[in-house]
A = this chain, B = another copy of it.
Amino acid sequence: MLNLEVNIGGLRLKNPVMTASGTYGFGKEYSEYYDLSQLGAVVVKGLTLKPREGNKAPRIAETPAGMLNSVGLQNPGVEAFLEHELPFLRKYNTPVIANIAGNTVEEYCQMAEKLGSQVDAIELNISCPNVKEGGVAFGTKCDSVYNITKNVKQFCKVPLIVKLSPNVTDIVEIALSAEEAGADSLSLINTLLGMAIDINSRKPILANVVGGLSGPAVKPVAVRMVYQVAKAVNIPIIGMGGISSWQDAVEFILAGADAVAVGTYNFVNPAAPIEIIEGIKKYMDKNCYKNLSDFKGKIQAC
C-alpha cells in the first residue's frame, strides 16, 4: 500500500501536493475542473488586513519558460475571506492554508489572531516583491525574519509556515532564523524579482515596472535553495518554483522537500496538481517506495 501522507509541522496532509498562493484564487475556479478534496492542501491568495486593489495593469508578462507578475496582493481582506471565501473551501475535505502579508509586524499578528483556528495553517508571506510597504522587506534580513516569525507565532493557533524570498544572498541563514524563531515549516521559493521591457513602446511591460518571476525558468534556483535549506534545518519544507510535472515534484522531494506546491503551471494545465499526485504514485510504485520518506532527500551527492 502506498502511503502519501505527510506531516507539515503538525498539519497532516493526505498527499504532498498543494497549490501555491496567488495562483489559485480561493479555489472556486479550479473546483470546476476537479474535486478539490483530492489535493494535499489549498493555499489561498495572499491576504491583507484590509482589502487591497493591487497594482495597475498590465500585471503579467511572459518570459522564456516563465512569467512575471505584479498583481500586488489584490484581495478582499482577511474578514471578507473568512466570511465569503472560506465557507466554500470548507465543503471540501482538504486543509486550507491562509497566506498573509502586512505592512507592519502588528498587522501580521492581528491577521493571525483573526484567522485563529478557522484555517488549518498560516503561511507568512514575507517575500512578496510586488508591494512597496512591506512584504519582501521583512524577508531579506535575518533579524527581521526572526522578529516577525517570533511575534506572529505567539498569535498563531495553527502551524506557522514561513515563506522565504529567493532574492537573498544566503537563503540558509534566513531559513535558520525562521526556524529558530519557531516556524513550524518553511515554504520556498517565492518569486525572483525581474523585469521585461517592450522594445517597441519602450516601456516596461508591467505597469509596476518590476515583478515576480515564476514558472519553469526558476526551477533550478528553487531546487538548489530547497536542497541547501533541507540540509540545514530540522523542520519540514514545502518546495515550489517551476513545478510543471510529477517529475519536477519528485525532483523537489529528492532535493529535500516534504511537500510541493504548484503555482504558475495551474494556468497552463488546470489539472496539473492532480496529474502530479498520480505521477508521484506511479513513481513510488515503480521504485517500490511505500512512503515519501523512502526517497525524500535521498540523493546521492557525488
Contact = CB atoms under 8 A, between A and B. Distances in A.
A197 B301 CA distance: 10
A195 interface: yes
Among A66, A203, A207, the one with the most B-chain Cβ atoms within 10 Å of its Cβ is A66
B195 A220 contact: yes
A114 B216 CA distance: 44
A193 B170 CA distance: 11
Interface string A279-302: 000010000000000010011111
Given A193-B224, A194-B220, A299 B202 contact: yes
Interface in A192-207: 192-197, 199, 202-204, 207
Interface string A208-226: 0110010111111101100
A255 B199 CA distance: 10
A63 B219 contact: yes
A290 B192 CA distance: 36
Contacts of A220: 61, 63, 66, 68, 192, 194-196, 213, 217
A56 interface: yes
A220 B204 CA distance: 11
Interface of A is mostly: mixed
Interface stretch (A78-86, A90-98, A246-254): A246-254
Contacts of A26: none
A242 interface: yes
Query: What's the number of copies of this chain in the assembled complex?
Result: 2
Contacts of A87: none
Contacts of A301: 203-204, 209
Contact of A217 (B64, B168, B202, B204): B64
A227 interface: yes
Nearest to A227: B195
Contacts of A140: 169-170
Contacts of A295: 202
Contacts of A204: 299, 301-302
B66 A300 contact: no
A167 interface: yes
A65 interface: yes
Given A210-B224, A251-B197, A217 B65 contact: yes
Given A202-B295, A299-B203, A195 B223 contact: yes
A250 B213 CA distance: 21
Given A140-B169, A140-B170, A167-B169, 12 more contacts: A63-B220, A64-B64, A193-B224, A194-B221, A194-B224, A197-B223, A199-B251, A213-B220, A213-B221, A216-B217, A217-B217, A217-B220
13 contacts: A63-B217, A64-B64, A64-B219, A66-B217, A192-B221, A194-B224, A195-B227, A196-B251, A197-B299, A202-B300, A204-B302, A210-B224, A210-B227
